[in-house]
Amino acid sequence: MSYKNLQHYRHTVHRYLDAIWLVGSSKKKARSTMYKWLSTKMNLDIEDTHVSKFNREQCKQAIKILRPMYIQLYGQDLTYKKKRKEEINMNLQTTCTQTFETAHILPKANTKYDGLYSRTYKLKVTVEGPQIQPIGMIIPQEELKEILSKAVPDRQFIFNINNPVCKEIAYILQRYDIPYIELDKEVVAENLIQYLKDKIEYYLYEVYQYSKDIKIVEMELSSIKDEYSTKLILK
């Protein structure tokens, strides 16, 4: 197998890793165990065992470690088939939704604030990427659901840190160890959906360590009660 550049090396390491840990029954535990094992084998700190941080030599080292495991599991090595012209830009998409509740304050131009609001939101997230072979998935549905459940704040007060009323509420919440979310801008759907994007990407790439070949392409945040929605297009 020939490698064109560092990105190709990293992509190959991810293909080996994804195919190996996806065989496990407990996917989150399998991935965590896999990375700890690889960090030991490569003599790296666990926080440095991220494929996105690997240089060319580290990728070669990881491939040398992972290739025998892959062959043992699947009876053959990774293959790269030459893509037909019509397949070159072909990806697949997976969509997942998460419902959550929040409380926040919306200010008015002519008053200090417009009262405390509670909202029930539904977030729909679409990720796009190539299939992980030989499993044939982009990302397991239950794992994408797990990422959303961890990244999306449910039953929390979300507030603008520049709002003095919100600061007083946050002070009380802090005293009683009640969780809350701080934004540096107004808590409107357009800002909230961007905050959620950053959180989901953190879990997708940093915590669950998926390759950036898998990316969020669309998010829609809708208010169940008021029947409006805000859509974020990332293509």
Give residue-wise pLDDT tens across range 111-151: 555 677 788 999 999 999 887 766 677 888 888 999 999 99
C-alpha span between 224 and 214 (Å, rounded) = 29
Distance in angstroms between the alpha carbons of the first and the last residue of the chain: 31
- pLDDT of amino acid 147: 93
pTM of the entire predicted model: 0.68
Percent of the chain with pLDDT over 90: 29
Domain chopping of the chain, boundaries: 6-80, 92-233
Answer whether residue 217 shows pLDDT above 90. Answer: yes
Segment 42-59, tens digit of pLDDT: 999 988 888 888 888 998
Mean pLDDT of 31-36: 81
pLDDT (0 to 100) of residue 232: 92
Taking the mean position of all CA atoms in its chain, how far away is CA 230?
20
For the beta sheet containing 228-233, the strands, ordered from the edge strand earlier in sequence to the opposite edge, are 180-183, 156-160, 92-105, 116-129, 215-223, 228-233
Q: Residue-wise over 94-121: b if at least 16 C-beta within 10 A, else e?
A: bebebebebbbbebeeeeeeeeeeebeb
Evaluate if residue 23 carries a pLDDT over 70. Answer: no
Topology of domain 92-233 in CATH is Tetrahydropterin Synthase; Chain A (3.30.479)
Please give the pLDDT value at position 81: 58
- Scanning 46-201, the segments in alpha helix (DSSP H) are 56-74, 141-151, 164-175, 189-201
pLDDT per residue over 86-116, tens digit each?
444 578 899 999 999 998 877 665 555 567 7
pLDDT, averaged across the chain = 83
Residue 77 CB neighbours (<10 A):
11
Q: What is the pLDDT of residue 216?
A: 95
- The span from the CA of 161 to the CA of 123, in Å, is 24
